[in-house]
Amino acid sequence: MKYIDEYRNKELIRIISDKIRSVLTKQISIMEICGGQTHTILKYNLEEFLPAKINLIHGPGCPVCVTPIDYIDKAIELSMKDDVILVSFGDMLRVPGSEKDLLSARANGGNVRMVYSPLDSVKIASENPDTKVVFFAVGFETTAPANARAVIEADRLGLINYYMLCSHMLVPPAIEALMSNNKVKLDGLLAAGHVCTVMGLREYELLSEKFKMPVVAMGFEPLDIMNAIYMVVNQIEENRFDVENQYSRTVTREGNAHAIEIINKVFTKEDREWRGIGVIKNSGLKLRNEYSKYDALLNFDFEKKETMVIGNCIAGEILQGLNKPAQCSSFGKECKPEHPLGAPMVSSEGACAAYFRYKRSKN
């Protein structure tokens, strides 16, 4: 297929829906990892095309949602320093920290700027040599290469006023932690196509083998998702647990060698806390020692503060697929996109925002 509307064609979706119904014999739970895919499922009402025997569980793949509160508090603290410009992607500005978000910090005099590309933060640093510029780098394997590129560029320019507050997360260790949690019951996994485009499929082969779990790397359009569900259902019905590639128009088994190389050149793994979930071994990226002069955590003093969750937010349970947004007592009441209590109501990839936007009226 060549055009986007073909991937949204209702007749084709119905054909795959019939195929799924014709092979599925039992009750199953499948997790889609990525919040972008959760939004597609809700936006196109794909659950209506699926048999009731399929329970779709929404996973932790929203980078804004899993950024630890402590990092947001630190970003806010940096923004309030006289000699600092805090630079971030727009999504991060409204994510609540312990007491406030970056947008409120800006309203209270904090120097916060929004960018669309990590290289913009390098440009700001080169244009403001007397000010320290800190880029709040969040995201999964998908954004890591561009952020690594920004550090290399700052180094090439010899900038001495550029820093990175690095909250990068890695998806496979989080999946492994979820699968090791007895409360999370899964029969199949839909892996995020963009992460697999960068990293390839090898890590998922290890996970699939370890947990005897069918895995399908999946794209982002409605037909991609229906097709990937059909592939997982077939594996379950045939008692197979393979890694299959639905998103073959961009994903290869090896991934993007150049992107992986640049990530490994700049970053190294460390244990990292996931908001609402806890610390997951080797699930974060930090700057390598060679680039430690750019590490904001090592080059600024921070106040020691206890972090707090606002209200009754159960984001941790939602991010682990243990509950759905509508089961949160604050959903659509105290917590709405214009007044979010938790990160999943803020982000364009957050499950609570998706339910509010596409499903609230039905509930």
Give the binding site for ligand SF4 (CB under 6 A). 311, 313-315, 318, 325, 328, 330-331, 335, 340-342, 344-345, 352
Distance CA(109)–CA(60), nearest Å, equals 33
With respect to ligand SF4, which residue has the nearer C-beta, 188 or 340? 340
With respect to ligand SF4, which residue has the nearer C-beta, 145 or 325? 325
With respect to ligand SF4, which residue has the nearer C-beta, 287 or 335? 335
Smallest gap from residue 322 Cβ to ligand SF4 (A): 11
With respect to ligand SF4, which residue has the nearer C-beta, 197 or 347? 347
In a 3-state reduction of DSSP, which class is residue 192? strand
Residue 35's contacts (CB-CB under 8 Å, 6 or more residues apart) are: 58, 61, 62, 65, 347, 348, 349, 350, 351, 354
Tokens of 40: 């597609």
Evaluated on CA atoms 94, 184, 209, 32, the torsion sign reads negative
Residue 146's contacts (CB-CB under 8 Å, 6 or more residues apart) are: 117, 118, 119
Smallest gap from residue 278 Cβ to ligand SF4 (A): 16
Q: Which residue has the tokens 């991010």?
A: 319
Smallest gap from residue 62 Cβ to ligand SF4 (A): 11
Contact status, residue 231 vs residue 219, Cβ threshold 8 Å: no
Distance set, CA 334 to CA 52, 73, 92 (Å): 31, 22, 20
Distance CA(86)–CA(68), nearest Å, equals 17
Distance CA(225)–CA(218), nearest Å, equals 6
Smallest gap from residue 325 Cβ to ligand SF4 (A): 5
With respect to ligand SF4, which residue has the nearer C-beta, 17 or 330? 330
With respect to ligand SF4, which residue has the nearer C-beta, 205 or 334? 334
Smallest gap from residue 305 Cβ to ligand SF4 (A): 21
Contact status, residue 299 vs residue 133, Cβ threshold 8 Å: no
Smallest gap from residue 183 Cβ to ligand SF4 (A): 17
Smallest gap from residue 316 Cβ to ligand SF4 (A): 9
Helix extents (H) in 290-338: 296-299, 315-319
Smallest gap from residue 137 Cβ to ligand SF4 (A): 23
Q: How many CB atoms lie within 10 A of CB 338?
A: 6
With respect to ligand SF4, which residue has the nearer C-beta, 132 or 324? 324
With respect to ligand SF4, which residue has the nearer C-beta, 249 or 339? 339
